[in-house]
Amino acid sequence: MGLDITVLAVDWERLKQTPLGERQGLLEDAALGGDDWDLDAEPERGWIWPAAPEILWCARYEFHSTPGSYKPHFWTGHAWEDVREFADPVLREHLDGFLRDLIWDVDDRSGAVTADTDLLPGEHDPFRPRLLLACPPAAVSALAAHWSRAQPLLEGLREPYAVHAACPGRWIEDFDEFSVLLGEWGVVVAEAEWRGWGLLGLPW
């Protein structure tokens, strides 16, 4: 089945004030949306506020362009590696900064847990899946600044992408899919930054 990712925007102070032993359960409820599942309902897309009825300080983002799998995010980072040396230097600087703390596997990392690595009990347990992403509010603000500089230059990457990174049949097979997923991450970062919240990427 492979690895999935669920992205949550959280009030960082409320999370840190929650007893360590209670965080795992709360975040699982937020990731799964609580207990009231409707198997006949259309899949949710975009922001779900709140992520679960009893957790008002947490929202969940459901990507329009992926089925919940981590694979499209992984291949977006891989595609960036293929094309980045052909990008405008300013775009390269800021898209490096944007993707490195989200989904770009640099130095064999799955995402970048930039701080507060003891957010969950057992986070260092090799038998438990680790957080894919943990960005406190200050890191989210830095991401938003990188995206504001990168977004206007992104279209200039279309032709180099077609030559160096397009791969029909693969997750994120062309520039349009690449830019759409980046745009969704831009939406995620912008909302969290506006609220002064952090971001978590959970592996379920």
Choose from 43-57, 111-125, 141-155 the range with maximum mean pLDDT.
Answer: 141-155
Q: How do residues 76-126 score in pLDDT, each as one tens digit? A: 999 999 999 999 999 999 999 999 989 886 554 444 444 455 687 665 555
Q: Using an 8 Å Cβ cutoff, are 114 and 136 in contact?
A: yes
Q: Using an 8 Å Cβ cutoff, are 120 and 27 in contact?
A: yes
Residue 51 phi/psi, 5-degree rounding, is -65, -35
Residue 57 phi/psi, 5-degree rounding, is -100, 25
Q: Which residue from 77, 63, 200, 60 is spatially nearest to 131, judged by alpha carbons?
A: 200
Would you say residue 179 has pLDDT above 50?
yes
Q: How do residues 152-163 score in pLDDT, each as one tens digit? A: 999 999 999 999
Residue with tokens 């609220």: 195
Tokens encoding 124: 């260092």
Residue with tokens 């795992």: 24
Q: Are strands 46-48 and 133-135 parallel, antiparallel or unpaired?
A: unpaired
Domain locations in the chain as residue ranges:
6-202
Residues 5-17, mean pLDDT to the nearest whole number? 95
Residue 199 phi/psi, 5-degree rounding, is -125, 140
Would you say residue 177 has pLDDT above 80?
yes
The pTM assigned to this predicted structure is: 0.88
Longest Cα–Cα distance in the chain: 51
Residue type, position 112, single letter = A
Q: How do residues 20-30 score in pLDDT, each as one tens digit? A: 989 988 998 99
Is residue 48 helix, strand or coil? strand
- CA dist list (Å): 193 to 34, 94, 125, 177: 25, 17, 30, 24
